[in-house]
Amino acid sequence: MIEAHNITQTVQGRVVLNGLSCTFQKGRMYGIIGPNGVGKSTLLQVLSGVERPKSGEVRLAGIPLASYPRKELAKQMAVLQQSGLPPVGFSVREVVSMGRYPFQNWLGSDEKDSETIVNEALSAMGLQELEHRKMDQLSGGERQRVALAKVMAQEPSIILLDEPTTYLDIGFQVQLLDTVRAWQQRRDLTVIAVLHDLNLAALYCDELAVLHQGKVAAAGTPHQVLTPSLIERVYETTTTVIPHPVTSAPQIMLQPNYRSEK
């Protein structure tokens, strides 16, 4: 379990998280949603330990996050950043293999069969044909898939995803989230994902946390959270919420203010 208690954090002198508290249980997939600029990515950075909050504390399994050595923390938690991976001169396989670094001793030997783990990660993300290609030869979407394969090779118990579907077309968005969801359920992982697309969040997440004015404005299942009144209050737009015809998950239908004269 990962817990955030009374987190306050600033970005360029502006308070974006203001006494925020939330809890994420083992074996659940969470979506962090909210308008631009409310601190979703900042919260993920604090939860990962990349940033230390101005005040408050994050605890992992009841222990302050700051108490964990970085390599030990990396054995339990992996982060997929919003920007994905830079187009460096490494091959796809080399980058995915970097996910095994926390498990290597000072001689570079892995505790497990790293080749098998890397092969499984490449296969899961459909990257076998690209494994020898250099990163600077890939599209943004392909680099994003490599980044997730690297996270999978790390074998964490907690995964933090910052807008993981960025740069991906709708087909790969579904493939990526299908893969994450199946992986999460198969290994009883905790997944915390910042998502802009509310419909994707409703389809894949067990629970949602809505950030607004520096705090969690609402938390619960998609059915509990995604209501027209809350969306209007937080996003300042009018919507209709209908059940998905296959899954019954709530889906957001936008209502444009513009009306055609035809």
Residue 147 above 90 pLDDT?
no
d(CA 119, CA 96): 9
What is the model's pLDDT at position 259?
A: 67
Asked if 208 and 192 count as a contact pair (C-beta separation under 8 A), the reply is no
Using an 8 Å Cβ cutoff, are 19 and 8 in contact?
A: yes
* Predicted confidence (pLDDT) per residue in 124-143, tens digit: 888 989 999 998 888 877 88
What superfamily in CATH does domain 2-222 come from? P-loop containing nucleotide triphosphate hydrolases (3.40.50.300)
Q: Is the pLDDT of residue 38 over 80?
A: yes
pLDDT class of 83 with cuts at 50, 70, 90: low
Banded pLDDT at 210 (limits 50, 70, 90): very high
Q: Could you state, in order of their start, the residue ranges of all structural domains in the chain? A: 2-222
Q: What is the pTM of this model?
A: 0.88
pLDDT band at 81 (very low <50, low <70, confident <90, very high): confident
pLDDT at residue 179 is higher than 70: yes
List, in order, residues 6 or more apart from 256 with CB less than 8 Å away: none
Higher pLDDT, 102 or 194: 194
pLDDT recorded at residue 98 = 86
**pLDDT band, residue 107 (cuts 50/70/90):** low
